[in-house]
């Protein structure tokens, strides 16, 4: 009997063993500092969400991170552009192989549906409505269902990327009843308010706004190479490569259509210390934004040198100190210039950034040699010069500090400096600035606030100074929102009150100028004007600090967000 039982059990084990799934190829493990929270293609709210969405959905055009060039992704080629007076036409053709997961082709109708989604009422799409307001209409080709033309208001160089920079969504999945298909794009734009009260749009909006489109693995699906396999909120996300992805069938695929890793695991580790522990125990293959001291220590350690490649690519994250030019104390530009002389930028870069930052004279990255004003000298740390400038601005040094009559009332030069709580770089920079200002007799109060509280204070103009990072790109120099005087009113994005009629003119010209030489001249003049006004004191462009496992080959490291491209990477066996 015993013998019989033993034989049966062994057979059972053998059967179980033969049934177990084949071992999967190991995943590439990437650290996320925060949970994506929502993967809705319209209402996602943070950088990790965008990073994931870029693996799942596709746009017509993309930026190749290896050379920062604009490349066609869903589109077969870059658009052909035709300009007529105040209108421009961008004609696209979608790749013939491009198709959705159910085998139906990606067509111009899907593009029209996606544009309608960006402008439909009752959806969470305010930011897109403003951003893509320039696309007036879409015209379909009679010859091909995959060809169409976007009709745009005016022409700016940024449109070369912007016209193809929105996710193309599957109409059959988001709108199975075809509600939007029957409403022309122009009508949605024109009758926005009246459509919002119709029952059809209300029903459509409630179906689009359902949480499933933000997190359900069955509904978060696009034409991209990956599907969302699993999402444990606050812990991890798993992306798996589609077995029958259309991009695999393309003959001689371009680099943008390559997707090598079969699985990518994103570990959500908000705490830096926990993430570093995971990195040191090789539970992560890719980690960015490593704190400086740890980065330097790991880079010097032979043990980690064998395990990881360390990179510090320069990024387009511009760090600056903002001054409130509308504040009576800082109204005079000489006062602002004096404060600029109290920031010791070389010291900040060498000691706080470990040399891993690029000094700059303005908003243009020094890497952009055409546009960067290299002739403009950097403002030097010079307390004596600051003193002279303060005196020229009408301030007088007394036993109680620097005093001046502002609007008929005596005012003492005391300043409050805002920065984001928890940002140790900003805290250290604030402490150094306070020390420098104190040596001159200017008391500075430091105020660490949450990001939303800082935004609130900036919008209501109740601030003196603040430290912030501005994420820029080399593709757009449309600085009108940030620097034009029309945006300087309370609530507008020009919080520092920068600008005068001349700089406004410069900004308007820069936004539409196509020729590199002319644009360079205009940008250089703007950088000069910004330095004279000193509403924004430029500090540096950050360098990312990354570690990538040596198990990975061909990871592309870039200065553009998210800083790396994993789709070309291969995992060594």
Determine if 406 is a binding residue for another protein (CB under 8 A): no
Please report whether residue 430 would count as binding another protein according to CB under 8 A: yes
Among 70, 205, 307, 352, binds another protein (CB under 8 A): 352
Q: Which residues of 236-267 are buried (b: 16+ CB within 10 A; e: fewer)?
A: bbbbbbbeebbbeeeeeeeebbbbebbbbbbb
Cα 85 versus chain centre, distance: 33
Contact call for residues 561 and 292 (beta carbons, < 8 A) = no
Q: 50 or 421, CB closer to another protein?
A: 421
Reduce the secondary structure of 357-370 to three states and give it as a string.
EEECCCCCCCCCCC
User: CA 114 to CA 328: how far, in whole Å?
Assistant: 48
**Shortest reach from residue 342's CB to another protein, in Å:** 14
Please tell me the distance from the alpha carbon of residue 343 to that of residue 54, in angstroms, as a whole number: 39
Looking at 66-74, 258-266, 317-325, 438-446, which segment touches another protein (CB under 8 A)?
438-446
Task: Look at residues 400, 437, 395 and name the one whose alpha carbon lies nearest to residue 416.
Answer: 437
**250 or 446: whose CB is closer to another protein?**
446
383 lies in the binding site for another protein (CB under 8 A): no
End-to-end Cα distance, the chain? 47
Per rule CB under 8 A, is residue 470 in the interface with another protein? no
Does residue 446 touch another protein according to CB under 8 A?
A: yes
Out of 6, 273, 374, 471, the only residue in the binding site for another protein (CB under 8 A) is 273
Nearer to another protein, 40 or 434 (CB): 434
Work out which of 6, 203, 374, 431 binds another protein, going by CB under 8 A: 431
Judge if the upstream peptide bond of residue 562 is cis by omega within 30 degrees of 0. yes
In angstroms, the CA 10 to CA 17 distance is 10
DSSP 125: -
Q: How far apart are CA 323 and CA 341, in angstroms?
A: 13
With contacts defined by CB under 8 A, name the span among 377-385, 420-428, 529-537, 564-572 that binds another protein: 420-428
Residue matched to tokens 């293959």: 285
- Residue 435 sits in the site that holds another protein (CB under 8 A): yes
For residue 483, CA distances in Å to 210, 363, 506, 510, 528 come to 38, 11, 11, 12, 14
Q: Is 355 left (phi over 0), alpha (psi -120 to 50) or beta?
A: left
Cβ proximity to another protein: between 292 and 482 the closer is: 292
Stretch that binds another protein, among 217-225, 441-449, 459-467, 534-542 (CB under 8 A): 441-449
Q: Which is nearer to another protein, 116 or 545 (CB)?
A: 545
DSSP string, 248-268: HHSSS--GGG----SEEEEEE
Binding region for another protein (CB under 8 A) out of 5-13, 16-24, 365-373, 442-450: 442-450
Please identify which residue in 210, 445, 451, 486 interacts with another protein, judged by CB under 8 A.
445
Q: Which stretch binds another protein (CB under 8 A): 241-249, 288-296, 476-484, 565-573?
A: 288-296
3-class state of residue 278 by DSSP:
helix
Q: Residue holding tokens 């660490």? A: 448
The answer to whether 277 contacts another protein (rule: CB under 8 A) is no
In whole angstroms, what separates CA 394 from the centre of its chain?
42
Q: Which is nearer to another protein, 88 or 326 (CB)?
A: 326
For another protein, the closer CB: 430 or 567: 430
**Interaction between residue 424 and another protein (CB under 8 A):** yes
- Residue from 200, 350, 460, 486 that binds another protein (CB under 8 A)? 350
456 contacts another protein (rule: CB under 8 A)? no
With CB under 8 A as the contact rule, the residue among 119, 434, 461, 524 that binds another protein is 434
Size of the site for another protein (CB under 8 A): 27
Q: Please report how close the Cβ of residue 490 comes to another protein at its closest, in angstroms.
A: 18
Strands (E), 85-216: 87-93, 135-140, 147-153, 167-168
* Bond from prior residue into 361 cis (ω within 30 degrees of 0): no
Residue 432 near another protein by CB under 8 A: yes
What's phi and psi for 118, nearest 5 deg?
-70, -20
Instruction: Give the shortest CB-459-to-another protein separation in angstroms.
Output: 19
**In angstroms, what is the minimal distance from the CB of 283 to another protein?**
18
Of 292 and 386, the one with the shorter C-beta distance to another protein is 292
Choose, by CB under 8 A, the member of 77, 297, 392, 514 that binds another protein: 297
Binding site for another protein (CB under 8 A): 272-273, 291-294, 297, 347-348, 350-352, 421-422, 424, 427-428, 430-432, 434-435, 438, 445-448
């Amino acid at each position: 009997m015993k013998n019989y039982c033993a034989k049966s059990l062994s057979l059972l084990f053998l059967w179980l063993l033969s049934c177990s799934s084949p071992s999967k190829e190991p995943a590439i493990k990437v650290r996320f500092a925060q949970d994506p929270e929502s993967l809705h293609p319209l209402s996602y709210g943070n950088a990790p969400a965008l990073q994931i969405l870029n693996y799942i959905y596709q746009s017509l055009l993309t930026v190749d991170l290896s050379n920062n060039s604009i490349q066609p992704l869903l589109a077969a080629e870059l658009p052909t552009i035709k300009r007529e007076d105040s209108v421009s036409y961008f004609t696209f053709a979608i790749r013939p192989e491009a198709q959705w997961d159910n085998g139906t082709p990606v067509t111009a109708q899907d593009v029209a549906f996606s544009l309608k989604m960006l402008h439909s009422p009752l959806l969470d799409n305010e930011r897109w409505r403003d951003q893509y307001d320039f696309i007036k209409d879409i015209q379909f080709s009679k010859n091909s269902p995959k060809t169409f033309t976007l009709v745009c208001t005016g022409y700016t160089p940024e449109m070369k990327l912007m016209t193809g920079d929105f996710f193309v969504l599957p109409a059959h999945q988001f709108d199975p009843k075809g509600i939007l298909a029957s409403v022309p794009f122009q009508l949605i734009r024109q009758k926005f308010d009246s459509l919002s009260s119709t029952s059809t749009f209300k029903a459509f909006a409630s179906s689009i706004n359902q949480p499933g489109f933000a997190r359900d693995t069955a509904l978060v699906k696009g034409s991209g190479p990956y599907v969302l396999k699993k999402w444990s909120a606050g812990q991890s996300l798993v992306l798996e490569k589609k077995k029958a992805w259309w991009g695999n069938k393309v003959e001689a695929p371009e680099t943008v259509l390559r997707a090598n890793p079969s699985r990518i695991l994103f570990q959500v580790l908000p705490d830096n210390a926990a993430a570093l522990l995971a990195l040191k125990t090789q539970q992560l293959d890719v980690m960015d934004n490593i704190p400086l001291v740890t980065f330097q220590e790991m880079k010097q350690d032979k043990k980690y040198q064998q395990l990881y490649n360390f990179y510090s690519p320069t990024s387009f994250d511009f760090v600056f100190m903002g001054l409130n030019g509308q504040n009576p104390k800082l109204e005079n530009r000489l006062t602002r210039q004096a404060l600029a002389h109290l920031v010791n930028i070389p010291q900040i870069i060498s000691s706080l950034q470990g040399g891993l930052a690029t000094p700059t004279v303005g908003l243009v990255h020094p890497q952009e040699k055409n546009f960067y004003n290299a002739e403009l000298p950097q403002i030097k740390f010079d307390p004596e010069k600051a003193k002279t400038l303060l005196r020229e601005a009408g301030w007088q040094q007394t036993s109680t500090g620097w005093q001046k009559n502002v609007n008929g009332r005596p005012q003492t030069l005391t300043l409050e400096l805002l920065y984001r709580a928890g940002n140790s770089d900003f805290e250290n920079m604030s402490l150094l600035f306070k020390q420098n200002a104190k040596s001159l007799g200017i008391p500075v109060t430091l105020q660490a606030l949450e990001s939303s509280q800082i935004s609130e204070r900036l919008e209501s103009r109740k601030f003196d100074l603040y430290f912030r990072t501005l994420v820029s790109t080399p593709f757009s120099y449309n600085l009108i929102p940030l620097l034009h005087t029309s945006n300087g009113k309370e609530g507008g994005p020009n919080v520092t009150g920068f600008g005068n009629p001349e700089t406004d003119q410069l900004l308007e010209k820069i936004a539409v100028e196509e020729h590199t030489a002319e644009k360079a001249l205009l940008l250089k003049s703007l950088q000069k004007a910004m330095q004279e006004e000193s509403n924004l004191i430029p500090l540096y462009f950050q360098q990312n600090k990354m570690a990538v496992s040596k198990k990975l080959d061909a990871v592309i490291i870039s200065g553009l967000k998210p800083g790396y491209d994993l789709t070309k990477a291969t995992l060594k066996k």
